[in-house]
Amino acid sequence: MDTHFTDEAKSACMVMIRKIVNLSNIVRMRGILAMELEARNEESPMLKAGIEMIMDGTDPVLVEKMLRYMICADKYEGADLLERMMIAEGMLAIQAGHGPRFVAAILGSMLGERLFHEALEIGNPATSSAYSLSIFQTHKQALPECEAFEQRLMRLSRSDFSRTLQGIDRHTMVYALFGCGTAFVYRVGDAMPEKLYTQLCEELDALPGIGIELALRAQDRIIERLKELIRYGEIMEL
C-alpha cells in the first residue's frame, strides 16, 4: 500500500479533520451518545460505522480491526486512502477519551510538517470553527427542503464552490445555511478563511427560528450567483 500522498490529497483531507475534531468536541461537551445525530446524517459509510461502534461500546481492539478491514477491502489511493486512515485514527482517539487538541494533533501529524500546525489550530477552542460548529450543529437538524440546494453545490469542484460563495454577504450565508446538513456546512468552512467561518458559526448558533421561507430565499440568491458564473463561462457545473 502506497502511503505517499500529494499536497493536494493532504489539503483535501482538512474537511475530514474538521469533522472528526467536531465529533471530539461533541463527545467532550455532551458525551458519547450525543454523536447519534451526526451518525444519522453522516455520508461516509466508514465514519458512520465508526461512530456507531463507539456509541455501542464496542471493544477498541475490535473497532480498530474492523476499520482496518474496511480500508484494506478496496484499493483506495490518494485523498480517499488518507481520509480513511484518518477516520480510523480519529475514532480510536475519541474512544480513548482524547480531547479535540490531541485529536487534531494526531490527524495533523499524518499530513506532515507543512500542514501540521494548520491542522492543530482546528483543535484549538479559541480559534476553531469546528468548536463553533459543534455548538450549534448538535441541536439543529438538516431540513429536507434544503437538500436540492446542498446537492447542487456539493457537485462543484472545490475551487468552483469557493468561487460561487465569493461575493455572497454573510447575512445571506447565515440564512442559507439554516437547515443545511453537517457535511455541507463543513464544505462551506473549507471554502472560506477560518476566522470568517468561526463568525458564521457563531451567528448560526445565535440565529432564532427564521422559517424555511427565508432560508430558501437566501439559497436562491446563491443559486442565482452560480447560474451567472456558469452563463459567463467562469465555472462549469457537473
pLDDT tens column, 172-200: 998 898 878 777 887 887 787 777 777 78
Same domain, 183 and 91: no
Cell numbers 487538541 correspond to 101
Same domain, 128 and 17: yes
Same domain, 160 and 46: no
Q: 166 lies in a domain?
A: yes
Same domain, 109 and 84: yes
How would residue 71 be classed by pLDDT, with cut points 50, 70 and 90?
very high
Residue of higher predicted confidence among 161 and 123: 161
Q: What mean pLDDT comes out for the span 135-139?
A: 44
Q: 1 lies in a domain?
A: no
User: What confidence score (pLDDT) does residue 153 get?
Assistant: 92
Residue of higher predicted confidence among 104 and 37: 104
Answer whether 104's CB lies under 8 Å from 117's CB: no
Q: Which of 89, 115, 135 is the last residue of a domain?
A: 135
Give how many domains the chain has, as a whole number: 2
Angle between helices 182-190 and 147-154 (to 10 degrees): 40
- The chain-wide mean pLDDT, for the chain, equals 83
- CA distances, 121 to each of 17, 127, 199, 205 (Å): 11, 7, 16, 21
Answer whether 166's CB lies under 8 Å from 231's CB: no
Same domain, 191 and 79: no
Q: 2 lies in a domain?
A: no
Helix (H) or strand (E) holding 210: none
Angle at 235 between CA 230 and CA 237, to 5 degrees: 70
Q: Which of 135, 168, 192 is the last residue of a domain?
A: 135
Cell numbers 465569493 correspond to 166
Q: 238 lies in a domain?
A: no
Q: 53 lies in a domain?
A: yes
pLDDT tens column, 16-69: 998 898 888 888 777 888 888 788 888 899 999 999 999 999 999 999 999 999
Answer whether 119's CB lies under 8 Å from 107's CB: yes
Same domain, 89 and 183: no
Q: What mean pLDDT comes out for the span 211-218?
A: 86
Q: Which of 70, 105, 135 is the last residue of a domain?
A: 135
Structural domain boundaries, residue 37: 7-135
* Range with lowest mean pLDDT among 14-28, 131-145, 147-161: 131-145
pTM of the model: 0.57
